[in-house]
Chain A
Amino acid sequence: MSIVSAVKGFYQILKAMAVTLKYFFTKPLTVQYPKEKIRLYPRFRGRHELQRRPEGLELCVGCGLCAAICPARAIYVEAAENTDEARFSATERYARVYEINYTRCIFCGFCEEACPTGALKLGHEFALARASRGELVMGKEALLQPATPHAIILED
């Protein structure tokens, strides 16, 4: 080992240590999660939210296009006819059973694009941990709930 390469190596080490020292004086990136809210972009894709019309009727017409396009086969739709006594949506049919299996869903958003009525939106809810697998298959009631994610939604 020559003196020259040793001096060069020493210079390289000092350079490396200058880099780490710079980061030492930078604010940490950690989000102290339950105390602080995490920051999400508006196009972040989280749990699905089924939408309603302003007067309260469901937008979903039970066509099953979302289930057809789903690459992970996570969606199960069973349609039924609306009657005058029990009316759920404005059209003829509605989704009697609407289930999304979150052990399978890959949050690709194809279902949202396929939906002809704009009933399905991927919201910002990201806290999807549950105590059992069964609870991860969410039915229509759960999906109709508007999400309240513990996050700050950023500007796009």
Chain B
Amino acid sequence: MDGNWIDTLLIPAIKAIVVTLGLLAAFAYMTLAERKLCARFQLRYGPNQAGPFGIFQPIADALKAIFKEEVIPEHVDKWLYVLCPVLAMVPAILAFAVIPIGRPIVIAGHTVTLQLADINVGLLYPMAVAGLGAYGIVLGGWSSNNNYSLLGALRTTAQIISYELPMGLALVSLVVVTGTLRMSGIVEYQAALPLIVLQPIGFLIYFICGLAETNRSPFDFPETENELISGYNTEYGGIKFALFFMAEYINMIVVSALTATLFLGGWQGPILPGWLWFFIKTAFMLFVFVWVRASLPRARYDKLMRFCWKFLTPLALANLLVTAVVVLILRG
């Protein structure tokens, strides 16, 4: 047993801490990056006063959020109200556990996979956990006991039943191609060719659903600030609001990392080390997220439902059918 505890306990624990802290740091700088990128899309500079190029802006924002007065409105359901920001954020961080960020490395005789858990249902896991994240938003809107928050929560519900189906179907056709649900297996499959080449429609469907999953523009219905005055988080302030914000951004990072892993070849790439390729691909997807936000106006939420049910779902089914037939023919 001795020596084994390092592999089974110590290394996963260290990896878990690194992933959590890394995601929190990535969240902090993602807020800055988004504000700067959005600003450049609108011919502005964005925050540039706190430190050189505004690099201390996230720290200033965090301090402000933490030291704000704790306000719990009297009409809220206190238990759920306090619980929901956590409920929204924890699944967002959990979902990152299965994403491989580089080729395994060897430290002092121990092989360390740069992935928290390489479980055999790898692809299913982030889907399931991300689904849990919606509870934080739905219950947060419900417990706020406020019309606008409730409408935001309702829209989240309408949204989640719309996007999850085509998203799942798009991933099923991906699994049909790779023949494995294991994340490391999917990345290895893409050694020669990233899956976006084999599954361009699947990629598009997954990305559109990813925008809906992370409540990003043009599908940011739960918070539509001009109709619902920020929707589900209207009654939240200070650090509790920051936690919701964190959940949204970490979800965005997770979806970008998943897109990079599933369709863009993960850490596979020439010349540069694996983790750098993973980082570049994820950063590119995050840039696309911001780019889409800066370009497209918000859709109407019934239009998203119609689009998902009447267009994306049949398209994903057709994509699945064609993929299955082609795979069947090629494998004899």
Contacts and interface: CB of A to CB of B under 8 A. Distances in A.
A21 B290 CA distance: 11
Interface stretch (A27-35, A44-52, A112-120, A122-130): A27-35
Given A20-B291, A28-B45, A1 B310 contact: yes
B107 interface: no
Contacts of A27: 43
A59 to B, nearest CB: 44
B44 interface: yes
Contacts of B295: 13, 16-17, 19-20
B40 interface: yes
Contacts of A21: 291
A16 to B, nearest CB: 5
B43 A29 contact: yes
B9 interface: no
B294 A30 contact: no
B311 A6 contact: yes
Contact of A28 (B37, B39, B296, B307): B39
B292 A17 contact: yes
A23 to B, nearest CB: 6
Contacts of A13: 295-296
A17 B45 contact: no
A1 B307 contact: yes
Contacts, number: 41
A54 B205 CA distance: 77
A78 to B, nearest CB: 47
A28 B291 contact: no
Nearest to B218: A13
B120 interface: no
Among B37, B291, B294, B295, which residue has the most Cβ atoms of chain A within 10 A? B295
Among A21, A24, A32, which residue has the most Cβ atoms of chain B within 10 A? A24
B296 A23 contact: no
A26 B292 CA distance: 18
B42 interface: yes
A24 B40 contact: yes
20 contacts: A1-B306, A1-B307, A1-B311, A16-B296, A17-B296, A19-B295, A20-B294, A20-B295, A21-B291, A23-B40, A23-B42, A24-B40, A26-B43, A27-B43, A28-B39, A28-B40, A28-B43, A28-B44, A29-B43, A32-B45
Interface string B42-57: 1111000000000000
A24 B42 CA distance: 7
A24 to B, nearest CB: 5
A24 B293 CA distance: 13
B249 to A, nearest CB: 20
B188 to A, nearest CB: 32
Given A20-B295, A23-B40, A23-B43, 15 more contacts: A1-B306, A1-B307, A13-B295, A17-B295, A19-B295, A20-B41, A24-B37, A24-B291, A24-B294, A27-B43, A28-B40, A28-B45, A29-B43, A29-B44, A32-B45
Contacts of A16: 295-296
Nearest to A15: B295
Contacts of A30: 43-45
A91 to B, nearest CB: 53
A1 B306 CA distance: 9
Nearest to A26: B43
Contact of A23 (B41, B45, B310): B41
Contacts of B42: 23
A27 B44 CA distance: 8
Interface in B13-58: 37, 39-45
Interface string B245-288: 00000000000000000000000000000000000000000000
Contacts of A1: 306-307, 310-311
A28 B306 CA distance: 38
